[in-house]
Amino acid sequence: MDSGTLLRETARFFEEQHQRAYLVGGSLRNIVLGEPCVDWDVVVEGGAATHARKLANRLGGHYAYMHEKASRVVVKGEQETVIDVSPLVGGSLEADLRLRDFTLNALAAPLASVVEHFESGAPIQFIDPLRGLADAEARVLRAVDSEVFRRDPLRMLRAIRLAMRYGLTIDSSTEGLLMRDAALLPQVAPERIHEELYAILAPNGATERLRKLDAYGLFTVLIPEFIPARGMRQPFPHYWDVLEHSFEAVGRLEQLAALLQAETGVISSSPLEREGHLVEIAALLREAEEQEIFQFSLLIAPRMKLATLLHDIGKPATWSIDEEGAIHFYGHPQAGVPLAQQILTRLSASTADQRLIQQVTMHHMRPGQLGQVGPVTPRAIRRYFVDLGRSGILIAILSLADHLATLGPQPLSEHWTRHLSVVRLLLTSYIRERERILPAQLVSAPELMRRLKLEPGPLVGQLLEHLAEAQAEGRIHSKEEALWLAEEYYKQHLMNVDNQKRE
């Protein structure tokens, strides 16, 4: 069934149950704003959970108890439709609406009236005690009262998301409430903040939304580690301070991701293109998608945008200035890892997200640094992907976004061309020559330990790494050669240990 049919059957179901049912909140908001809607919010006067379970059976859907405020009916089809059934809060429909967040979400209408509107074009019989309809038509986001954020501080993040998503203007009184109550945000459960933050980061234009959060004092309440980054100068060629650079990098990642998915002609004519490198990088990424080792969607997923935002989080802790007045951030990637972990733990990020963001924080400078001194060696390429695996693809593209965010409006130089060439080489090696740079082990750790009579420990790992490099460089090709080389390396190791003891 399509959404219209499901809505009609839902209205008929509640009529048969002699139960008054109203469409409320975001569903009506989207109708008024002309936005698509596949999630329908229904309130009933009583027995919401019981009615939702029966409705799921009626529609051939699945029932899920959410919490005391809602039960969910999910109906699969060409497009999944969600119907949330909730009991009235506050004893009456008007009281329920007055407890909501924003006036354009404090609308209600009899479900039957909405169905009739869709079927015949009849006007919807709105119930609108807070003039939400006028605010929706004027595209104004207004809090229902002065306590709205104190009742639930998460609504402050939702205000930013809704304003940016629907092109709404936040009215001045609501802006004042946001700034007044920003400090309350940490009272919210981390899981809820995580979900709302990722919803803010997900669509294009994340940089603008981050700046909105910052304008209302919400950003540094959410991530106080950025407080010292504001106004923190950086050395040439940096155009922005540390905070603005972090914001800009997110937008540049979105820009690159869009460009690399564009037609070849569009990429070729881009002012960012140099010597065909971007066209070739785009082709390599398409090949990586076919190999199922990369997805463009992962490049601009919320966790990757958060990683980009946090990539320089170690800079405030490592800022220094030498006798000549030069600014330095020595060791900021290493210093950033525990800070990023601290933030991610507070945000209740998943283990997988934590791992990726730690990798980005630690290694974001690596692709750019590879091309700074002489040619990039096969050993350096191999070590890059041994350390990072598939994440190395994402980090290579992020490093380009970081480069662009460093320059700001300043012109590109030969360093950009070199950076592109290094990323192209890294991706070519991993996507087209993976078996050469990361060949299957000729000797396993247990075999090596038996042959050399070794106990488990760091030396075994060092030996395996030495053999892997020799194999990638074509110096050994068989198990016998690998064992011979391991014996030679081990003899040299014992000699070095013995010499150290004598000294």
Please provide residue 41's backbone torsions phi and psi, each rounded to the nearest 5 degrees. -105, 120
Pairing of strands 39-44, 21-24: antiparallel
Alpha-carbon span 302 to 197, nearest angstrom: 8
Residue 437 clears pLDDT 70, i.e. is over it? yes
**Predicted confidence band at 394 (pLDDT cuts at 50, 70, 90)?**
very high
DSSP state of 102: B
pLDDT-wise least confident of 137-141, 231-235, 448-452: 448-452
| Fold assignment, 139-222 | Hydrophobic Seed Protein (1.10.110)
**Predicted confidence band at 1 (pLDDT cuts at 50, 70, 90)?**
low
Alpha-carbon span 85 to 378, nearest angstrom: 60
Pairing of strands 108-110, 21-24: antiparallel
Topology agreement, domain 1-131 and domain 139-222: no
Compute the average pLDDT of residues 228-242: 96
Q: Tell me, what's the pLDDT at 36?
A: 85
CA atoms within 13 A on the CB side of 284: 24
CA 116 to chain CA centroid, nearest Å: 40
Q: Which of 289, 278, 293, 316 is nearest to 423 (CA)?
A: 278
Is 382 exposed, middle or buried (CB count within 10 Å of its CB: 0-12, 13-18, 19+)? buried
Can you give the pTM of this predicted structure? 0.86
Residue in the structure block whose two tokens are 């050993």: 379
Pairing of strands 81-87, 39-44: parallel
Domain positions in the chain are: 1-131, 139-222, 226-435, 445-502
**Predicted confidence band at 483 (pLDDT cuts at 50, 70, 90)?**
confident
CA angle 475, 479, 483 (to 5 degrees): 80
Please provide residue 65's backbone torsions phi and psi, each rounded to the nearest 5 degrees. -80, 120
Is 474 exposed, middle or buried (CB count within 10 Å of its CB: 0-12, 13-18, 19+)? exposed
Q: Which of 272, 239, 240 is nearest to 257 (CA)?
A: 272
Compute the average pLDDT of residues 152-181: 97
Residues with Cβ within 8 Å of residue 26, at least 6 apart in sequence: 37, 39, 41, 105
Q: Tell me, what's the pLDDT at 503?
A: 64
Residue in the structure block whose two tokens are 């219209």: 4
Q: Which residue(s) pair with 85 in the sheet?
A: 42, 71
Pairing of strands 108-110, 140-141: unpaired
pLDDT-wise least confident of 198-212, 222-236, 401-415, 489-503: 489-503
Residue 375 clears pLDDT 70, i.e. is over it? yes
Residues with Cβ within 8 Å of residue 489, at least 6 apart in sequence: 463, 466
Q: Which of 447, 503, 441 is nearest to 478 (CA)?
A: 441
A 10 A CB-CB count for 336 gives 27
| End-to-end Cα distance, the chain | 83
| Fold assignment, 1-131 | Beta Polymerase; domain 2 (3.30.460)
pLDDT tens across 311-352, in order? 999 999 999 999 999 999 999 999 999 999 999 999 999 999
Residue 373 clears pLDDT 80, i.e. is over it? no
Residue 221 clears pLDDT 90, i.e. is over it? yes
Pairing of strands 140-141, 320-321: unpaired
A 10 A CB-CB count for 272 gives 16
Residue 49 clears pLDDT 90, i.e. is over it? no
Q: Tell me, what's the pLDDT at 438?
A: 79
Q: Where is 66: in which H helix or E strand?
A: strand 62-67
Helix locations, 110-263, DSSP H: 111-120, 132-137, 148-151, 155-166, 172-181, 190-201, 206-215, 219-222, 242-260
A 10 A CB-CB count for 37 gives 17
3-state SS of 248-291?
Answer: HHHHHHHHHHHHHCCCHHHHHCCCCCCCCHHHHHHHHHHHHHHC
Summary mean pLDDT of the chain: 92
Alpha-carbon span 300 to 306, nearest angstrom: 10
Indicate the SS3 state at residue 94: helix
Alpha-carbon span 184 to 152, nearest angstrom: 9
